[in-house]
């Protein structure tokens, strides 16, 4: 009896320590993401106020194809293969073989990416006139193509940095990876501040600065992760069984990750059909809704991935279910109120965020706010998609996100064609409506498929959703009443203050109702924050 009691205490202590480690890691990653999103947001503000409208269009469009290639060849492989695969190898005591397979995978990607970057730089001038005929008419397609050509080497160094992060995440060294994007965005902001202007030359100098920022980003990640990266050995031994397994696990999600970017290109293509210039407003609206999504959903999901993969490898299905449940609820608990703010105050948010000079006109604010209203629900929908995608990666079922991506692509093309391509004078809000519809179908597919496994499915979601909706109604009513006050300040400081007042009141009501309803997600959130501050003190 004493032995059993002692073993139980040890197991309980280990579980508690593990939970605390995950909570602390999540907190640190969220802090890093907040800083990253703030610097990234500052970047977009500077672009909106220091570039003329045509140059802004070139800037926004120039990133689409480089981003597509990055996501096609690298973006999905980090989360889909390297992190969970290496985490499982560490869990099962086969770390050496696992790292050998990862090294071959990275070496292969380096060679392929090098060839692709060279070919893309040679061919990009023939691609943009086809994809964006409106820019060709405006005479800026050459500037867009040249900017993209300068940006292509960036994705090679971003790839190297991403692989470094994937390896470190497998070892749960989240602190070493949390602040790398901040370094990158900081140097991008410096480039924009130094070189941005109304000329094509200023555009070229700025994107060249962005490319240099990517080199610095990789160097930073290599330095902070040198202890774990020193085991890397360049190898193209494609016959290695571990590499083959990792490769075929990664291929479906590589394609599904590219589908996300294809969806963006499709929306960008249909946006080019409107009379108004929508490329930059779309990017601004995406920046705003992706702020809470990128902080809370990505932060929680990234920390969850290696631990969930370890639980699954060890056949601890009950712990896997509990971890997915708590991660999903924690992410949704914070993204749901953010969605409410974006729906209730889109114009005020856009004006306060991006209007720092007369270059950002009232028309620009109006269009961006309209798009933001349509995109607001994506904050919650894509939180669900991201968390469940991470769960499928962790259990090795990477084909499922691939299938959901294909479904999403088909819905996006159909919706855009029916709502925009076949109609006269369509509203720009139909672009985000198409995106939201595709995301909703994708989320539904992932949830239904994952719930087929009774041992792994998350628990008590219905009660959480019901309580969250009650909290959201309280937030909505409080902000709606404050919006009824006839107060439209012109001074930037007062705009920010008035926006902050409504945000604090609305979030306070949301949290208060959550406390009255005894939602454990609130206490978990408070515990993470207070524990971290106690450590600092």
Report, in this order, helix, strand and coil percent for the chain, each rounded to 5: 85, 0, 15
Indicate whether 478 pLDDT > 70: yes
Structural domain includes residue 503: no
Work out the average pLDDT over 6-28.
49
Structural domain includes residue 120: yes
Indicate whether 496 pLDDT > 80: yes
Q: Phi and psi at residue 281, in whole multiples of 5°?
A: -55, -40
Tokens of 512: 């208060």
How many domains does the chain divide into? 1
Structural domain includes residue 340: no
Residue with tokens 């193209």: 236
Structural domain includes residue 98: yes
DSSP 51-105: S-HHHHHHHHHHTHHHHHHHIIIIIHHIIIIIHHHHHHHHHTT-HHHHHHHHHHH
Lowest model confidence (mean pLDDT) among 254-258, 328-332, 410-414: 254-258
Q: Is the dihedral of CA 417, 419, 425, 431 positive or negative?
A: negative
Q: How do residues 35-92 score in pLDDT, each as one tens digit? A: 666 666 677 677 766 677 777 777 777 877 787 777 666 665 565 667 777 877 887 7
Indicate whether 446 pLDDT > 50: yes
Structural domain includes residue 233: yes
Residue 354's contacts (CB-CB under 8 Å, 6 or more residues apart) are 44, 45, 48, 49, 284, 360, 364, 365, 368
Q: CA–CA separation, 382 vs 301, rounded Å?
A: 12
Q: CA–CA separation, 18 vs 438, rounded Å?
A: 37
Structural domain includes residue 182: yes
* 48-52, 79-83, 262-266, 441-445 — most confident range: 441-445
Q: How do residues 300-318 score in pLDDT, each as one tens digit? A: 887 788 888 888 888 888 8
What's the start-to-end Cα distance of the chain, in Å? 41
C-alpha distance from residue 269 to each of 58, 129, 130, 283, 441 (Å):
14, 11, 10, 13, 22
Q: Is the dihedral of CA 358, 360, 364, 366 positive or negative?
A: negative
Q: How do residues 122-171 score in pLDDT, each as one tens digit? A: 887 777 776 666 655 556 777 888 888 888 888 888 888 888 888 887 88
Q: CA–CA separation, 137 vs 57, rounded Å?
A: 13
Tokens of 313: 């490898």
Q: Does residue 357 sit in helix, strand or coil?
A: coil
- Range of the structural domain that residue 159 is part of: 35-272
Indicate whether 256 pLDDT > 80: no
Q: Do residues 370 and 433 lie in contact, with contact meaning Cβ atoms separated by under 8 Å? A: no
Q: Do residues 402 and 255 lie in contact, with contact meaning Cβ atoms separated by under 8 Å? A: yes
Q: CA–CA separation, 165 vs 170, rounded Å?
A: 9
Q: CA–CA separation, 464 vs 458, rounded Å?
A: 11
Work out the average pLDDT over 513-530.
78
Tokens of 485: 């006050």
Structural domain includes residue 40: yes
- pTM comes to 0.74
* Residues composing the chain: 537
Structural domain includes residue 357: no
């Amino acid at each position: 009896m004493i032995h059993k009691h002692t073993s139980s205490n040890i197991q309980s202590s280990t579980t508690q320590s593990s939970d605390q480690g995950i909570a602390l890691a999540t907190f640190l990653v969220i802090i890093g993401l907040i800083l990253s999103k703030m610097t990234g947001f500052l970047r977009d503000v500077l672009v909106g106020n220091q570039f003329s409208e045509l140059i802004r269009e070139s800037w926004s469009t120039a990133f689409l194809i480089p981003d597509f290639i990055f996501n096609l060849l690298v973006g999905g492989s980090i989360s889909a293969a390297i992190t969970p695969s290496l985490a499982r190898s560490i869990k099962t005591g086969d770390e050496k073989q696992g790292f050998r397979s990862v090294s071959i995978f990275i070496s292969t990607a380096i060679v392929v990416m090098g060839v692709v970057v060279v070919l893309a730089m040679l061919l990009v001038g023939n691609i943009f006139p086809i994809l964006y005929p409106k820019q060709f008419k405006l005479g800026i397609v050459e500037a867009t193509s040249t900017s993209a050509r300068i940006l292509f080497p960036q994705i090679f160094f971003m790839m190297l940095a991403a692989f470094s992060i994937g390896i470190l995440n497998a070892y749960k060294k989240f602190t070493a990876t949390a602040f790398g994007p901040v370094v990158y965005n900081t140097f991008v902001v410096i480039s924009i501040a130094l070189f941005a202007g109304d000329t094509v030359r200023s555009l070229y100098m700025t994107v060249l600065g962005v490319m240099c920022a990517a080199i610095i980003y990789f160097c930073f990640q290599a330095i902070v992760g040198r202890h774990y990266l020193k085991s890397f050995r360049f190898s193209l031994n494609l016959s290695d069984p571990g590499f083959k397994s990792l490769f075929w696990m990664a291929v479906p999600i590589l394609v599904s990750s590219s589908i996300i970017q294809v969806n963006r290109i499709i929306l960008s293509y249909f946006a080019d059909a409107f009379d108004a210039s929508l490329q930059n407003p779309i990017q601004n609206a995406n920046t705003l809704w992706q702020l809470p999504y990128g902080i809370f959903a990505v932060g929680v999901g990234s920390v969850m991935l290696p631990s969930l993969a370890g639980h699954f490898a060890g056949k601890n299905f009950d712990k896997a279910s509990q971890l997915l449940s708590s991660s999903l609820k924690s992410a949704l608990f914070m993204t749901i109120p953010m969605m409410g703010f974006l729906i209730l105050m889109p114009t005020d948010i856009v004006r306060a965020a991006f209007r720092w000079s007369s270059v950002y006109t009232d028309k620009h604010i109006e269009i961006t706010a309209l798009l933001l209203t349509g995109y607001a629900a994506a904050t919650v929908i894509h939180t669900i998609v991201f968390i469940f995608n991470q769960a499928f990666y962790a259990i090795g079922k990477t084909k499922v996100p691939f299938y959901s991506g294909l479904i999403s692509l088909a819905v996006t093309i159909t919706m855009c064609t029916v709502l925009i391509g076949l109609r006269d004078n369509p509203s720009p809000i139909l672009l985000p409506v198409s995106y939201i519809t595709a995301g909703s179908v994708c989320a539904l597919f992932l949830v239904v498929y994952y719930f087929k496994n009774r041992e792994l499915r998350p628990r008590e979601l219905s009660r959480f959703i019901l309580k969250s909706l009650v909290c959201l109604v309280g937030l909505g009513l409080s902000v709606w009443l404050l919006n009824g006050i006839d107060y439209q300040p012109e001074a930037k400081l007062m705009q920010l203050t008035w926006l902050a007042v409504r945000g604090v009141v609305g979030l306070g009501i949301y949290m208060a109702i959550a406390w009255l309803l005894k939602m454990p997600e609130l206490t978990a959130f408070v515990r993470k924050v207070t524990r971290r501050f106690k450590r600092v003190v």
